[in-house]
Amino acid sequence: MGGLTLAHRITAAPATEALPIIVVTGLGAAITAFDKFPQVRAVIHKPVPREELLANVNKALAPSC
C-alpha cells in the first residue's frame, strides 16, 4: 500500500481521522500530493536524519494551543 492510499484510509476512518501523519518518502513529487491532508504534519525525504524525525514526531504530538 502506498502512502497516499494509507493517508486516504486514515483520514476516512472516524477512529483515526484526527491522527497526525508524518510522511517519509524518497519521491520528490510527494510534497504536493499530501497538501490536501491537514493531518499531514511533515513530509520528510529519505534518508531521514534521526534528529529530524524525532523533532517532527515531537512537534506532531505536541498539544495545540
For residue 7, CA distances in Å to 26, 34, 65 come to 16, 8, 25
pLDDT of residue 27: 83
**For 11-35, what is the mean pLDDT?**
90
Most distant pair of Cα atoms in the chain: their distance? 34
Structural domains of the chain, with CATH: 3-61 (3.40.50.2300)
Cell digits for 37? 491532508
Give 27-53 pLDDT, tens digit per residue: 877 778 899 999 999 999 999 999 999
| Residue matched to cell numbers 483515526 | 16
